[in-house]
Structure 1
């Protein structure tokens, strides 16, 4: 297995033109279906959570500086924007507890992204929109694509298509025509995300010191150190 530093060097050497060609070959156009912003199962028409109990909340990684940018965009509190990534946490008597190593975008009571909203046209057609679109994190800017490098994430499960280093994940917009300019913009963001994910992973690894976690307490380790769920330093 390659070291994170080796993978970071590979990420920095990625060709944006080659990534763009791969994206054009696969094809993509956002249909505003909202599937990538919503929980699996989620709420019913009455706004209540799924009765099956199978709801899987929307989970999208967000970097510390992206959290601050989103806070500034809408004068949000930290917890309005982000929550501790649930992976690695356990359910204690007083709620989640333990250590985790990333932040995820905050979700609403249905498990959908807190910044997602739906509107209906006059004919009843429902489409989704991001209320912080211009400031959305890199993982959102680049969905449904990722690059096949160790230390980088695969959003929304395994790839359903692949072209060279570029992986495509489940999305109804795949296979549609995309312009060269749009593919180039998406490719540049995808390379930036790959580099940022590896830089973050290295910084977390180098700064990590096991925390003494009390019952009902959560500690998040990011590139800036150990933090409480409200983003304040531990």
Structure 2
């Protein structure tokens, strides 16, 4: 066990700092700045989207531009899914009601690193194409799934299997939950559900999702694939 204060990460960080020096860090920062500006300009030019606030660092939060006609608006979560289908992973974030009653809109985040500058043209093209694909589309209808999850908010809590059965409609997971990946291929429906559920229920949903992702898939014991159900492992098989 390396413990919570392992010396290895500290030594690695020190070595990187020594190797880069002030000039190296300055060059990396400049690359982040240029890439962030290029992406900001690109998003500003996409009808139906807008950048939230005036970000000073290498992260952009993008949401729907409510000032354009509904038919020209772009939902940020549908946009993230469309961009993902083109090979880029953005970060959808659910909307959030704050303690003072104000509500932060649902957004998609773009985190910029120095490497981003080397692929910024391809990324911008994917951002534009993704927006064109989903412009005017509305958020997923999650009413059926929410109805199945109403018990999560209180009363008699459903079992884990009940929760997973409701989630399958969103995730497109196999019926038995054992074959293939349970990670959703589209995040927009899941984000819409997260926003609609009470915080405690949303937490339960995420716990169940993560549990299914981490759940090992049972593999048959070698030599037993064609064994009759009632025949014990190691028993002689008829020839």
TM class, shorter-length: under 0.3
Question: TM-score, normalising length from structure 1?
Answer: 0.24
Question: TM-score, normalising length from structure 2?
Answer: 0.24
Bigger radius of gyration: 2
Q: Which has the higher helix share?
A: 2
